[in-house]
Amino acid sequence: QRAGCVLAIELDETLVGVLRAELGDRSNLHIAHGDILNVPYQQMLAEMCGAGSYKVVANLPYYITSHVLRLLLELSPKPEMIAVMVQKEVAERATAGPGAMSLLGLSVQTLSEARLVAHVPAGSFVPQPEVDSAVLQLRVRTEPLFPEVSMERYFAIAAAGFGQKRKGLLNSLSSNLHLPKPVVQEALRAAGIEPLRRAQQLGLEEWARLCDTLPPG
């Protein structure tokens, strides 16, 4: 009621019918039947609601959460804010700091300011799922966190580090970037990172420093 314009995208045809029956008379609501991974929703948003800032609110299917979050965070123009219901474990991974960092957390926190704003127990749903949920709020960064760093290179190096997260960075980066161990060891030293540390122990700034010290793979 308070939104200027709402574009609702729903995959389940039955739920689309419910939305249209319950809310179809709202002049500022546009309901589309489709898959968020495939529909041209930015084009639809522009056509139906016009240009300007927008926010994304979603109850995401858990099996595509990581994919959709990365997709939303890399949109252009970017949403001002993203609020999504996700599996509790995913929300905790997305907001974890060094020591419990994951590739998902690194991606989300590099591209946004992430905050877990509410826990939603499984008993809140009918039928009741097997896992608890949480609401994750992302304030999308309007300026790059590391403006001097190539994001493509940054994420490639991080993916290499997390590719063998049970191993130390010396081994995982050397193996996945196809670089000699002495070269990687010197790059880690130059970045102030102990070679035996693991990917999940690093902070965002340390990954950015590795972009400067590691040679192209």
**Residue 68, token pair as written in the block:** 């959709």
pTM recorded for the entire structure: 0.89
- The pLDDT score that the predictor gives to residue 131 is 94
SS (H, E, C) the chain: CCCCCEEEEECCHHHHHHHHHHHCCCCCEEEEECCCCCCCHHHHHHHHHCCCCCEEEEECCHHHHHHHHHHHHCCCCCCCEEEEEEEHHHHHHHHCCCCCCCHHHHHHHHHEEEEEEEEECHHHCCCCCCCCEEEEEEEECCCCCCCCCCHHHHHHHHHHHHCCCCCCHHHHHHHHHCCCHHHHHHHHHHCCCCCCCCHHHCCHHHHHHHHHHCCCC
Sheet holding 133-140, edge to edge: 55-59, 81-87, 133-140, 112-120
Note whether 16 and 10 are within 8 A (CB): yes
The domains located in the chain, with CATH, are 6-140 (3.40.50.150), 151-213 (1.10.8.100)
CA–CA gap between residue 200 and residue 100 (Å, rounded): 5
How many other C-beta atoms are found inside a 10 Å radius of the C-beta of residue 199? 24
Average pLDDT of each block of 10 consecutive residues along the chain (217 residues)?
Answer: 88 94 90 90 85 90 89 88 96 97 97 97 92 97 95 97 93 96 98 98 98 89
- The pLDDT score that the predictor gives to residue 76 is 83
- Main-chain dihedrals φ then ψ at residue 8, nearest 5 degrees: -105, 125
Length in residues, the chain: 217
CA–CA gap between residue 206 and residue 158 (Å, rounded): 10
CA–CA gap between residue 133 and residue 91 (Å, rounded): 8
